[in-house]
Structure 1
Amino acid sequence: MSTQKQNILIIGATGQVGLKTIELLESVQDDSIQIIAAVRSTEKAKQFTERGIASVLIDLNNEATFTRALKNVNRLFIVTGYTVDMLRQSKSLIDYAKKSGVQHIVHLGACGRDDTTVAHWAWHQLVERYIEWAGFSFTHLRPETFMQNLLSYGGAPVIKNGIIIQYVKDARKSWVDVNDVAAVAAQALLKPEIHNGKTYRLSYDAKSYYDIADLLTEAIGKPFKYVPHPPEDFLKTMKANGADMAYMDCVYKHYIRYAEGSIPGADDVFDNFYEITGKQPTRWADFIEKHKEAFTY
């Protein structure tokens, strides 16, 4: 492997996964890499500048920002937002990455088996295939539902006074901690020679919301209850919040399918985390203990 310093560009540097990935890369203190945070404004760059981390301005809706942002980048972490525009944004970014000489791409995708018919999961798999078609060294990450979604979703609390409001009846789902996703991303960016060509599905606990309510009750010492709501309530909330409705309509439809039990592998879990990171993954009991203060009411 070349001894030349490897520049690692993190798209979505201020988001949950991107920011934690940067923190993990920074903690390695590896002089052979340089971390570069991709941000949308100089204001958002300040937190990185203060820590001595390089930053570049990029707007995924403005291709004119891509060339400068990707200059001398060797490894790229792609994280896009929850809009249908992620398809166009990802394709354009990958095209420019190819022209710029990027060698390895780590892509944060979505849940599901290869044959998924859940729309927004399939969109991410199309991006995966485009990365492969373009000839990059690659690592695909497919996290299942984020545990952090029970702390908040779409800027709104999910649990109010011990009541969990969700939309999937008694479905048992697969879960992963955002920090564990970032840990795998960091390893894939640090050691592409090991993780090249790999697709990692990331989920390490399977629970229904009824199960989680029971765990919370036991850990917090106060009653928690799951109250299923119709998926139509979710759609109304997202519309009121100004979310991208093309994307959120897909989420709405997959909530219906969760409730019906018609998503194959909805509660799949995996044993790959220790092999990748040398650590044990977070499970729901661990997550609740870590976030006790946030869950307490």
Structure 2
Amino acid sequence: MSKVFVLGATGQLGASVVEGLLEKNVSVTAYARDASKAEKMFAQSSNLNVVQGGYDDLDVFKAAVAGHERLFLMVQSFGNMRGIKYAFAKIAYEAGVKQIVDISCTQEMAPAWRSNPVCEEHRSCEEAVINIPNRGKFVALRPAFFFSNHFMGDIHSIRNADVIMGCNPPDEKKMWISPTDISALAVNALTEPIEHHNDCAYEMTSEALSGNERAQILSKVLGKDIKYVERSAAEEYKANRSVGMPHDTAYAFVEYFPQGQGHITRGLPILLGRDPESLEAWLEKNKQAFLQ
């Protein structure tokens, strides 16, 4: 089976992808800024090789990626994401990589061109890689909001006040997906025949849920009454900025509005080989974190 190079191996998705590949007995190279952290995260395996390097260590990456047929491309660096992804993808293709699986962003979050800077950056990344001459295949996964985003602001307001907050009206829906499903689809794409996925771009939305609906699910799972509280756009923006978001990202999340109130990806069971994970199921696995 093809050797797979995983960029961002110690992040939430990268780590799950590494574990999923190792479970399938795939030879994996994990690329991480902290090699000791990566070695501690994963069980000892003859199929695992850890390479220490960052986004600026292109020579290290170039030497390490040789001999791999596939690359998982996960970059968390808004503002310079396009340059980083292009550089790594170009080096990888020139080294003989035949397939790149990229984590992008759902295009339904940007109903008009350049209306959402987060989506625009991901779009420009896809465009840059697609236009690399003589490239291999390029598969883009486009997830909606991660269920794990609840670990950002919501977890604190739940612990302290039994509420979740947002600037969206209580019945306005947002699009969601489990990180479990994102990593599972990445593993499938990286292990199934390259020609099967070709140059596909996969939108990934499993549920469209309003604030009130999420509060109801949280109440059921956590066993206490959780309410959704609508706050002003200015309050939402301030909260986003307080956790380190730059202006453009914080503003983009305030202005987020899905086309058609959220389109569910009907084909997810085909891609995953099972039904996608629900928010309720994900919360059941993680509920202790919200109850501390």
Instruction: Give yes or no for TM over 0.5.
Output: yes
* Number of the residue aligned with 1:275: 270
Q: One-letter code of the match for 2:209?
A: K
TM-score (norm 1): 0.86
Contact 1:149 1:158 in 2 (8 A): no
Contact 1:232 1:252 in 2 (8 A): no
C-alpha distance in structure 1 between counterparts of 2:220 and 2:34, whole Å: 44
C-alpha distance in structure 1 between counterparts of 2:280 and 2:186, whole Å: 23
* Number of the residue aligned with 2:195: 193
Question: How big is each residue's C-alpha offset from its partner over 1:40-92, in whole Å with a ceiling of 9 and x where there is no partner?
Answer: 12322322675222111221133333212322221001101142121211111
Mark the CA change 1:96 to 1:256 in structure 2 (over 3 Å): closer, same or farther: same
* Number of the residue aligned with 1:166: 166
* Number of the residue aligned with 2:230: 228
Q: How does 1:1-297 map to 2 (within 5 A)?
A: 5-29=1-25, 33-47=26-40, 50-52=43-45, 53-113=48-108, 116=112, 117-134=115-132, 135-152=135-152, 157=156, 159-161=158-160, 162-170=162-170, 171-191=172-192, 192-241=194-243, 243=244, 245=246, 249-258=247-256, 261=257, 263-296=258-291
Contact 2:188 2:272 in 1 (8 A): yes
Among all aligned residue pairs of Structure 1 and Structure 2, give the percentage whose two residues are the same amino acid: 23
Q: What SS is found at the alignment partner of 2:259? A: coil
Which range moves more in the overlay, 232-241 or 123-132?
Answer: 232-241
What are the ranges of 5 or more consecutive residues in structure 1 without an aligned counterpart?
Answer: none
Shift of 1:164: 0.9
What are the ranges of 5 or more consecutive residues in structure 2 without an aligned counterpart?
Answer: none
Q: One-letter code of the match for 1:23?
A: E
Aligned pair count reads 282
C-alpha distance in structure 1 between counterparts of 2:127 and 2:261, whole Å: 22
RMSD: 2.4
Mark the CA change 1:26 to 1:213 in structure 2 (over 3 Å): closer, same or farther: same
Q: One-letter code of the match for 1:255?
A: F
Contact 1:7 1:75 in 2 (8 A): yes
Q: What SS is found at the alignment partner of 2:27? A: strand
Q: What SS is found at the alignment partner of 1:226? A: strand
Q: One-letter code of the match for 2:28?
A: I
Contact 1:119 1:250 in 2 (8 A): yes
TM-score (norm 2): 0.87
